């Protein structure tokens, strides 16, 4: 059973590829994706049992040292996060739109999970650095109150560590806005 997800962000593409191999060789884990992003970073998302994910993440961090930008392990990742990363979630009915923008990819993955666990929202998109200068953002919808709660929960950690760029809640967004997001 895959009950945890690990994510690690590198400043080196070569070291990221090396780490992907180490992650898979260290413990029983499944690679969700391993890919380069802007500006010359490399990101790996993988899943497995909590202990396996922790072991694999530790091995990658030790192997790559100062090339690691950030990493995380999330037990019980909400089921909406991976489809939103893959941009496969249709918007549906929207009362409000929330957007969280970050300097790191890792923070966006963490924020997406925190936001969806905090309120009754629908994750629409988790954009991870490609084509946007290394920044990342999370887009979600729901009632105005739910979107405000989710935005607060999703940005809390980033506010503490200084990686949040902006937090926006848009009540009654125009439908044309969605064409630019998906």
Q: What is the DSSP letter of 40?
A: T
pLDDT bracket for residue 47 (50, 70, 90): very high
Q: Cβ–Cβ contacts within 10 Å for residue 37, how many?
A: 22
Q: How far is CA 58 from CA 19, 65, 72, 161, in A?
A: 10, 10, 10, 21
Mean pLDDT of 98-123: 92
Q: Quick one: CA dihedral 134, 100, 88, 115, positive or negative?
A: positive
Backbone φ, ψ for residue 143 (5° rounding)? -70, 160
Question: Domain coordinates of the chain in residue numbers?
Answer: 4-75, 81-181
How confident is the model over 7-22, as pLDDT tens digits?
Answer: 999 999 999 999 999 9
Element (H, E) at 57: helix 50-64
Q: Are 89 and 123 in contact (CB under 8 A)?
A: yes
For the entire predicted model, the pTM comes to 0.78
Q: Are 4 and 76 in contact (CB under 8 A)?
A: yes
Mean pLDDT of 115-132: 88
Comparing CA positions, the residue from 54, 76, 41, 42 lying closest to residue 6 is 54
Assess if CATH 3.30.70.1710 describes domain 4-75. yes
- The rounded distance, in Å, linking the Cα atoms of 69 and 12 is 9
Mean pLDDT of 103-131: 89
pLDDT at 3: 87
How confident is the model over 74-107, as pLDDT tens digits?
Answer: 998 888 888 887 666 666 677 899 999 999 888 9
pLDDT at 80: 84
| Residue 35 burial by Cβ neighbours in a 10 Å radius (0-12, 13-18, 19+) | middle
Instruction: From the options 3.20.20.120, 3.40.710.10, 3.40.50.10540, 3.30.70.1710, give the CATH code of 81-181.
Output: 3.30.70.1710
Q: Are 139 and 98 in contact (CB under 8 A)?
A: yes
Tokens of 37: 């992003």
């Amino acid at each position: 059973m895959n009950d945890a997800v690990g994510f690690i962000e590198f400043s080196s593409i070569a070291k990221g590829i090396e780490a992907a191999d180490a992650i898979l060789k260290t413990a029983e884990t499944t690679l969700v994706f391993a890919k380069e992003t802007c500006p010359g970073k490399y990101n790996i998302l993988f899943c497995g049992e909590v202990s396996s994910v922790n072991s694999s993440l530790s091995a990658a961090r030790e192997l790559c040292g100062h090339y690691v930008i950030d990493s995380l392990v999330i037990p019980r990742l909400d089921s909406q996060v991976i489809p939103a990363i893959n941009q496969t979630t249709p918007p549906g009915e929207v009362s409000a739109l929330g957007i969280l923008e970050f300097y790191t990819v890792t923070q966006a993955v963490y924020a997406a999970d925190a936001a969806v666990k905090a309120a009754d929202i629908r994750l629409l998109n988790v954009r991870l650095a490609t084509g946007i200068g290394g920044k990342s953002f999370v887009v979600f919808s729901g009632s105005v109150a739910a979107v405000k709660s989710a935005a607060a929960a999703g940005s809390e950690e980033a506010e503490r560590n200084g990686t949040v760029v902006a937090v926006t809640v848009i009540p009654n967004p125009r439908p044309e806005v969605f064409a630019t997001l998906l």
